[in-house]
């Protein structure tokens, strides 16, 4: 039987990129449910605070929506030089103005799932699949 794996202790400092004025506040319950680690049940029973030991990882994750998607790359290559560069990805000014970096110091040991491992992903998929298709 596949089981979830516990993650090693996180770094003592974690970062979060989110809307101001307080990037460390819990997300509003009205926005919960649309993201991959959110509670799929309504009303939500929990909320997820996305953090990382790297500020760069926080920015990369929060800007995932702006990266070129495979379909747009194929479409661009069909009308432009297939070996040429893609058009630059631009971060909207209002996005930049509304985001802040928060910093959290980890002072207690918590049990965390290591979502980077295949056994944990398989376990979560098996356990949560019925909630995802409702």
| CA proximity to 104, closest of 4, 2, 8, 23 | 23
Q: Give, for 98, the enclosing helix (H) or strand (E).
A: helix 93-98
The rounded mean pLDDT for the chain is: 85
| Joined tokens for residue 96 | 């930049």
Domain borders along the chain are 13-132
Q: Is the pLDDT of residue 20 over 80?
A: yes
At residue 134, the pLDDT reads 57
Identify the weakest region by mean pLDDT among 9-13, 84-88, 94-98: 9-13
């Amino acid at each position: 039987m596949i089981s979830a794996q516990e993650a090693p202790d996180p770094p003592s400092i974690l970062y979060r990129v989110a809307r101001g004025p307080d990037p460390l506040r819990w997300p509003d319950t009205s926005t919960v449910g649309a993201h991959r680690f959110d509670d799929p049940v309504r009303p939500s029973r929990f909320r997820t605070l996305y953090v990382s030991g790297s500020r760069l990882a926080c920015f990369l994750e929060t800007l995932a929506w702006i990266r070129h998607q495979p379909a747009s790359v194929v479409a661009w290559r069909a009308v432009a030089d297939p070996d040429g560069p893609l058009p630059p990805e631009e971060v909207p000014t209002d996005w930049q103005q509304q985001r802040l970096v928060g910093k959290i110091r980890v002072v207690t040991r918590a049990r965390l799932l290591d979502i980077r491992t295949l056994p944990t992903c398989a376990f979560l998929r098996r356990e949560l699949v019925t909630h995802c298709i409702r």
